[in-house]
Chain A
Amino acid sequence: MKTPKLSLDQVKHLAKLANLPSNEVLLKQLQSQLESTFDYINKIQSLNTEKIPETSQVTGASNVFREDKVDTSRILTQKQALSGAKNTYKGYFKVSAIFDNE
């Protein structure tokens, strides 16, 4: 399967999905890099994977849980929680206004 060429619009769409800046100069650079990368990656289509199951985890583990207990040792103080943020207000993180969505 040859990769269909990636249009700039497609790259813009991907950048939007990935919350990356949509500066056109940048995206054009990325477009050509993506195309050549996928030209190589497409090798994987030659692999016969019929009847091969997926392996998402190499641990082989299952049913790893924690007990339903409160762990105060990891709870941060408000000051610690906010310590990395540029914009805060009265204990909240602050961003510019978001309108109704999701």
Chain B
Amino acid sequence: MNEITEKSIRELIEGIKNKSFSVREVVLAFYNVLKKQETELKSFIHYLEQDLIEKNLQELEKKATRGDKILFGIPFSLKDSYCTAGIATTAGSKVLEGYKPQYNATVYQKLLDNGALLFGKNSQDAWGHGSTSENTDFKIARNPWNLEKVVGGSSGGCAAAIASRMVAFAIGEDTGGSIRNPASYCNITGLKVTYGRVSRYGTIAYGSSLDTVGPMAKSVEDIAQILSVIAGYDPFDATSSPEDVPDYTGNLKKGIKNITLGVPKEFFQSGTDKEVVKTVRDAILVFENLGAKVIEVSIPSIDIGVAAYYLLAPSETSSNLARYDGIRYGQARDKFTLETMRRILIGTYALSAGYYDAYYKKSLKARTIIKKDYQNAFEKCDLLIAPVNPTPAPKIGEMASDPIALMLSDIYTLTQNIAGIPALALPCGFTSGGLPIGMQLMGDMFKEENILQAGFAYQELTDWHKRKPNL
């Protein structure tokens, strides 16, 4: 049974096909982990009861033959910011307590159409506001590697569920690092896609020009599989891209000979944990051995990126959260947490008369500069490599009371959202204390293919991603 939860999605599908095991055995294997670990890990705000899952599986079996559903029976979970018709959706906030959406998010619909089985909705920082999943109105998710450490955020529950093997994959949401940060703290793989690569329709919005919908799983191979299902143009999302969806899984093994890997020097600033720096530099050596050419590059605007992000995102969120007035759904606005109210007020101030030019407009200009910095770097190299978090997972409660420290801890993940470029977080080592360390590979817009190829090559040679926590 344990073995099943270690398998890749491809192996699961093949195993079910050639009858090494049944789909029910797969579902049960993962669900048993959930039953065992969830009370401790609190990775779900809401999960489906076993008999409901059984019922859903039966309906699935009635409707289609296995063959035409490429994710048939594969258990997954969604960050609770995705609308799932008839299933409680809260975005981690009491303001949406009791709300059951009347429609499905496109990403959810696509997974359903391909036969995947929803286990539940994961814990998160409310509305995406945070990077530790502590800013929640529900239970705080725990890091399976060390229950006293934060799981990361804001898609923390997703990372915990995958790391503990409760589900085969999850869909998180990354606005400033919210997929990559918890992936890195929990030793799993997570992809922030190019802005517009995956439809945002049905995703509870945080920062509309920054939000991305992305897969989280145990390996790059799994990521590629899920991406090929969820990527693509959606007529319900005017910002979704008509760019062709390449064969992400088919081209995975292309390898990385002759690519140039850029190391942006500003991503290794003092203040970054020494073990983090060493581990990522070791990973760079692996790439060199694989045939990559390594050069140093510069993204000078990374520092100003924090200020720009904390103007752009709160401004958009102050507007996106205006619809939660308790009239058509949800509870009253006094149920917002202090952190959310803070962000709403920051945004309101930045957009207000007399301040718009100095703040919001200025951040739109900063975005132009940041985007140009990445463009310049990608003229010199194919991919960039850097740490995800400056430190390994802090203790629960350590940062919650220091908003500025919290802001600064996102420094390595914010600018990619501002620029819209894709970035893949993957495990690359551990601290001496046994805490996971993650690195990220970044590419230019719509270069997910190249990033996944590089990540895949790395995971063929290393086995960090195969380690699992002692639970």
| Residue of A whose beta carbon sits closest to that of B196 | A59
CB-defined contacts of A38 to chain B, threshold 8 Å: 346, 349
User: Across the interface, do B365 and A49 meet the contact criterion of CB distance under 8 Å?
Assistant: yes
Closest A residue to B325 by beta carbon equals A19
A66 within 8 A of B: yes
Tell me, in angstroms, the Cα distance from A78 to B420 when the chains sit together: 39
Contact of A56 among B209, B327, B344, B366 (CB under 8 A): B209
**Contact: A58 with B195, CB < 8 Å?**
yes
A30 to B307 alpha-carbon distance, docked (Å)? 19
Tally B residues with Cβ within 8 Å of A. 58
Residue of B nearest to A95 (CB): B327
Given the complex, which residues of A lie within 8 Å of B368, measured CB to CB? Answer: 52-55
B304 touches A43 (CB 8 A): yes
CB distance from A12 to the nearest CB of B (A): 11
Point out which of A20, A33, A58, A85 has the most chain B C-beta atoms below 10 A from its C-beta: A58
User: With a CB–CB cut-off of 8 A, which chain A residues contact B345?
Assistant: 11, 14-15, 18, 20, 30, 34
Is the C-beta of A44 less than 8 angstroms from some C-beta in chain B?
yes
Question: Can you name the residue of chain A whose Cβ is closest to the Cβ of B404?
Answer: A40
CB of A61 within 8 Å of the partner chain: yes
A20 and B344 within 8 A (CB): yes
Q: Does A90 contact B (CB under 8 A)?
A: no
A39 smallest CB distance to B (angstroms): 9
| Chain A residue at smallest Cβ distance from B402 | A36
Interface residues of chain B: helix, strand, loop or mixed (majority): helix
**A51 CB to nearest B CB, Å:** 10
Assess the B352–A49 pair: CB atoms within 8 A: no
* A58→B420 contact, CB < 8 A: yes
State the CA gap A15–B328 with chains docked (Å). 22
CA distance A3 to B6 in the complex (A): 53
A30–B306 CA distance with the chains assembled, in angstroms: 20
Residue A8 lies at the interface, judged by CB distance under 8 Å to chain B: no
User: Does the CB pair B346–A37 fall under 8 Å?
Assistant: yes
Q: Is the CB of B102 within 8 A of A81?
A: yes
Within 8 A of A (CB), among B299-313: 301, 303-304, 306-308, 310-311
Is A47 at the interface (CB under 8 A from chain B)?
A: yes
Establish whether residues A20 and B336, one from each chain, have CB atoms under 8 Å apart when the complex forms.
yes
In whole angstroms, how far apart are the Cα atoms of A93 and B103 in the complex?
19
**B361 in the interface (beta carbon within 8 A):** yes
Q: What chain B residues lie within 8 Å of A61 (beta carbons)?
A: 196, 238-239, 241
Task: Please tell me if the beta carbons of B322 and A19 are within 8 angstroms of each other in the complex.
Answer: yes
Cα separation A20 to B368 with both chains bound (whole Å)? 32
Chain A stretch 37-77: residues in CB contact (< 8 A) with chain B: 37-38, 40-47, 49, 52-59, 61, 64, 66, 74, 76
Q: How far is the CA of A56 from the CA of B349 in the complex (A)?
A: 18
Quick check: A59 and B241 within 8 Å, CB to CB? yes
In angstroms, how far is the closest chain A Cβ from the Cβ of B73?
Answer: 27
Q: What is the bound-complex CA distance between A41 and B344, given in angstroms?
A: 15
Contacts of B465 in A (CB 8 A): none
Q: Which residues of B contact A76 (CB under 8 A)?
A: 102-103
- CB closest chain-B residue, reference A36: B404
Question: Does any Cβ of A come within 8 Å of B348's Cβ?
Answer: yes
B139 contacts chain A at the CB level, 8 A cutoff: no
Chain A CB within 8 A of B59 CB = no
Do B348 and A14 touch across chains, with their CB atoms under 8 A apart? yes
**Given the interface contacts A17-B352, A37-B346, does A83 sit within 8 Å of B100 by beta carbon?**
yes
The reply to whether B238 and A64 form a contact with Cβ atoms under 8 Å apart is yes
- Evaluate contact between B366 and A49: CB separation under 8 angstroms: yes
Interface string of A7-35 (1 = CB under 8 A from B): 00001001101111101001001100110
Chain A CB within 8 A of B287 CB: no
A84 to chain B, nearest CB (A): 3
Given A83-B100, A84-B99, the answer on whether A20 and B333 have CB atoms closer than 8 Å is yes
CA of A7 to CA of B298, assembled, Å: 40
Instruction: Say yes or no for A101: interface residue by CB 8 A criterion.
Output: no
Q: Which parts of B381-406 form the interface with A (CB within 8 Å)?
A: 403-404
| B360–chain A nearest beta-carbon distance, Å | 9
Name the residue among B239, B307, B310, B338 with the largest chain A CB count within 10 angstroms. B307
Given A20-B336, A76-B103, 9 other A-B contacts at CB below 8 A?
A: A1-B358, A6-B349, A18-B345, A19-B333, A38-B349, A43-B307, A54-B365, A58-B445, A59-B241
CB pairs A–B below 8 angstroms (11 shown): A20-B334, A21-B334, A30-B338, A40-B306, A44-B363, A46-B304, A47-B301, A53-B365, A56-B364, A58-B420, A84-B330
Please give the residue numbers on chain B whose beta carbons come within 8 Å of chain A beta carbons, in ascending order.
Answer: 99-100, 102-103, 195-196, 209, 235, 238-239, 241, 301, 303-304, 306-308, 310-311, 318, 322, 325-330, 333-334, 336, 338, 341-342, 344-346, 348-349, 352, 358-359, 361-369, 371, 403-404, 407, 418-420, 445
